[in-house]
Structure 1
Amino acid sequence: MQIRTATAEDLPILRQLEQAVIAAERPYNQAIKPQDARYYDLSALLDCPDSLLVVGEQDGKIVATGYVQHRDSKAQLVHARHGYLGFMYVDPDYRGQGLNQAIMTHLMNWSKQQAIHDFYLDVYSDNQAAIRAYEKAGFSPCLLEMKVHLCEQ
């Protein structure tokens, strides 16, 4: 797989892959809109100097994606900035080949060149396959977000 920086020409396929991510995560969160759901401002990620959006290509086809965005950390943390990883996606036909690991390594290496050494990402607590993949990359659970929906009366 060749990893390269995404370009504006990639936006149509990136939008399709974003919908694939949303479809894959909808079973873990019934609050995701059934239509017109969006996770990412892809154009902004392409233009932001604190972000790197990459694609993984195999045989001329984009089969994997991911981004890192450098963000200010919470004041109580020892690090002033961190990298947030998102849009981690691998086409189902190409899973199990280490592509997600390669994308994460590429993104974290880019960040380390800019003195970013702490990384965060979000994953649904019931998505055990994704959790295992992130644990394999050295991540560990840190914070559990909880939610409630109160019905109107």
Structure 2
Amino acid sequence: MIDMRVANSADYDRIDALDDSFTTDRIMHVTSGEAGFEIRSVAVQPPLRKEYPPTGEEGGGSGDPDAPHIVVAVTDGEIIGFVAVRYAAWNRRAHVEQITVAPGHRGKGLGSALMAQAEAYGRKCDARTLWLEVTNVNAPAVRAYRRMGFEVCGLDTSLYVGTPSEGEIALYMGKSLM
């Protein structure tokens, strides 16, 4: 049995400790030409393993009106996933800042259930769009987001310059909530 609830301050360390690494044998290769950009899935050998440093960020339920809304998935007292979403009134966009499912629980629909929580929050805020950013090397996430109804709506070739992800390309994906 999985319980979904809004995160509280006691959850932040457990959220930050979740393993959000991934391994993939495919990436989304981006090329640029006169007509624009082309994105296609290409095989990589050996498989790529990506790990992210802990963020140390807090949110949802912190009392800070600018903090993201965070929903955790809990089973047997263990947090096995979460989604952090923030609403921007000026453009009526709900931005999924992070979604993480613990490795042993991936591929079982938990990501979709958490994204449904983000969609519900966006609709509650009267958002017109649910939006996210994902690195081009996270092909498993891109495939999952497409299955959830997201479409690539833009990219940024310089977002990760000067970071440990330098050389990767940010893909922006959106889904209408209207």
Same fold (TM over 0.5): yes
**Are the counterparts in 2 of residues 68 and 108 from structure 1 also a CA contact under 8 Å?**
no
SS of 2:150 mapped into structure 1: coil
Distance 1:129 1:107, change over 3 A: same
SS of 2:143 mapped into structure 1: helix
SS of 2:134 mapped into structure 1: coil
Identity over aligned residues, as a percent? Answer: 25
Residue-by-residue CA offset, 1:60-92 (whole Å, 9 max, x unaligned)? 21100111101255xxxxxx2200002210011
> How far 1:110 moved relative to its partner?
1.9
Match of 1:124 in 2: 135
Task: Name the one with the larger helix percent.
Answer: 1
Q: TM-score, normalised by structure 2?
A: 0.65
The CA RMSD over aligned residues, in Å, is: 2.6
- Greater Cα offset, 129-138 or 49-58: 49-58
Query: What runs of 5+ residues in structure 2 fail to find an aligned partner?
Result: 24-47, 163-178
SS of 1:142 mapped into structure 2: strand
The letter for the 1-side match of 2:63 is D
The letter for the 2-side match of 1:59 is D
Match of 1:93 in 2: 104
For the pair 1:104 / 2:115, whether they are aligned, the reply is yes
> How far 1:39 moved relative to its partner?
3.6
**Distance in 2 separating the partners of 1:24 and 1:48:** 31
Task: Name the one with the larger strand percent.
Answer: 2
**Distance in 2 separating the partners of 1:68 and 1:99:** 16
Q: TM-score, normalised by structure 1?
A: 0.75
Question: Which of 62, 68, 72 is the aligned partner of 1:55?
Answer: 72
**Distance in 2 separating the partners of 1:49 and 1:61:** 27
> How far 1:117 moved relative to its partner?
2.4
Trace 1:64-83 onto structure 2 (pairs within 5 A): 64-72=81-89, 80-83=91-94
**Distance in 2 separating the partners of 1:116 and 1:81:** 4
Query: What runs of 5+ residues in structure 1 fail to find an aligned partner?
Result: 74-79
SS of 1:97 mapped into structure 2: coil
